[in-house]
């Protein structure tokens, strides 16, 4: 069973500590997800240096990051939307049950495994995306039910581009499930299931897979922008935005985009893969032409409002999203990490919008 590459943000650690943690994190454990150090704003989990954190008010912290610099980030604990842990010693006046010894390799590995348990809903989405890539050609239309010992664990509605996941389902449950095509009328997704867009599930897979899953036609044909992907706007990085803007100006082949954007081929190909699985790209010029007006409006809206939790073309999340075990499945309006700078009117810190 394919395992995802999960993204770890390291905040406030010194260079030697960061190098040591990176080395431990990079070691692959058979049967477990691979971890990689990533930009903290886009990371799946955080490790925070306790010595670099200061208590600010009742629920907020100030983190000195990078270590030894004058830069600061604020973190409001009420807005935290991913697992985190602090290295000891903890800051004065701060209590947390999530702590570890950054000099103890076994303790760091135990902490990563706790993160993996917390991120099970995300890992289950990844597992479903991985299975869909291999089986999509066999189920291009209709509704598929995934049954494990006659128990429903997932529903995939290809026509409506919707997915329903049983909240306690594990990645191994999906891997062992039987895929049963629906017959007759569409099968409703049970109210107790997490209800997600198919594009969201496939994006979650695409950004965390180590496989080359870009369809061959995207290396050979002209690529067109079809829409802004129907995923939270904060999931889109600067390369995604540049690529969409270039394709809105003029469609191009992958080789032409490498030249126009002056980007390494593998990096650009990765971004194309992610946009494709997010439903943003097509090699069908007629399909792109029909959607051009809506795509242009959505791209403009995204440019002026990067803090929007969903793009302009995304429907409002279904209420069943609120039943998710992990708030990673919900969208906060701002990054929980926000830069601060000294307030010239006082000796404290003034928070800037992120």
Q: Mean pLDDT of residues grouped by 10 in the chain (354 residues)?
A: 95 96 91 92 93 84 88 86 92 84 95 95 96 88 92 93 94 95 71 93 96 95 94 88 94 96 94 96 94 86 54 33 29 64 48 37
Q: Report the first-to-last Cα separation within the chain, whole angstroms.
A: 38
Q: Specify the 3-state DSSP secondary structure of 274.
A: helix
pLDDT of amino acid 327: 31
pLDDT in the model for residue 353: 37
Rounded distance between C-alpha atoms, residue 349 and residue 335, angstroms: 18
Strand 162-165's sheet: what is its strand order?
178-181, 143-148, 151-157, 162-165, 194-197
Boundaries of CATH 3.40.50 in the chain?
5-119+333-351
CATH architecture of the domain 5-119+333-351 equals 3-Layer(aba) Sandwich (3.40)
Q: At 265, is the secondary structure helix, strand, or coil?
A: helix
- Measured CA to CA, the distance from residue 153 to residue 173 in angstroms comes to 8
Query: What does the DSSP 8-state code read for residue 152?
Result: E
Question: Which of 92, 130, 115 minimizes the C-alpha distance to 38?
Answer: 115
Q: Count other C-beta atoms under 10 Å from residue 248's C-beta.
A: 17
State the burial class of residue 223 (Cβ atoms within 10 Å of its Cβ: 0-12, 13-18, 19+). Answer: buried
Q: Which two tokens stand for residue 346?
A: 């006082």
């Amino acid at each position: 069973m394919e395992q995802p590459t999960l993204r770890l943000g390291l905040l406030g650690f010194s260079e030697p500590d960061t190098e040591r943690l990176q080395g431990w994190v990079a070691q692959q454990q058979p049967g477990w997800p691979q971890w990689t150090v990533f930009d903290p704003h886009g990371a799946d989990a955080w490790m925070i240096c306790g010595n670099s954190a200061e208590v600010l008010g009742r629920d907020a912290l100030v983190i000195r990051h990078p270590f030894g610099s004058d830069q600061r980030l604020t973190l409001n604990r009420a807005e935290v939307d991913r697992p985190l842990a602090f290295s000891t010693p903890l800051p004065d006046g701060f209590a947390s049950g999530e702590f570890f010894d950054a000099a103890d390799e076994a303790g760091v590995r135990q902490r990563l495994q706790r993160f993996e348990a917390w991120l099970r809903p995300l890992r289950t989405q990844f597992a479903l995306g991985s299975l869909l890539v291999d089986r999509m050609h066999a189920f291009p239309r209709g509704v598929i039910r995934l049954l494990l010992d006659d128990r429903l664990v997932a529903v995939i509605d290809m026509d409506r581009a919707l997915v329903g996941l049983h909240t306690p389902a594990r990645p191994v449950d999906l891997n062992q499930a039987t895929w049963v095509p629906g017959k007759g009328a569409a099968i409703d997704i049970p109210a107790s299931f997490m209800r997600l867009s198919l594009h969201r599930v496939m994006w979650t897979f695409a950004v965390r897979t180590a496989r080359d899953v870009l369809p061959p036609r995207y290396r050979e044909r002209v690529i067109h922008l079809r829409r802004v992907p129907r995923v939270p706007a904060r999931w889109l990085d600067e390369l995604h935005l540049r690529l969409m803007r270039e394709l809105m100006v003029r469609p191009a082949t992958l080789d032409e985009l490498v030249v126009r954007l002056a980007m390494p081929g593998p990096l650009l190909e990765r971004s194309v893969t992610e946009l494709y699985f997010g439903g943003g790209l097509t090699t069908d010029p007629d399909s792109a032409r029909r959607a051009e007006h809506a795509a242009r409006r959505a791209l403009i809206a995204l440019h002026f409002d990067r803090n929007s939790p969903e793009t302009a073309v995304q429907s409002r999340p279904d209420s069943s999203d609120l039943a998710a075990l992990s708030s990673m499945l919900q969208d906060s309006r701002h990054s929980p990490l926000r830069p601060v700078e000294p307030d010239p009117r006082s000796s404290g810190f003034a928070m800037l919008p992120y």
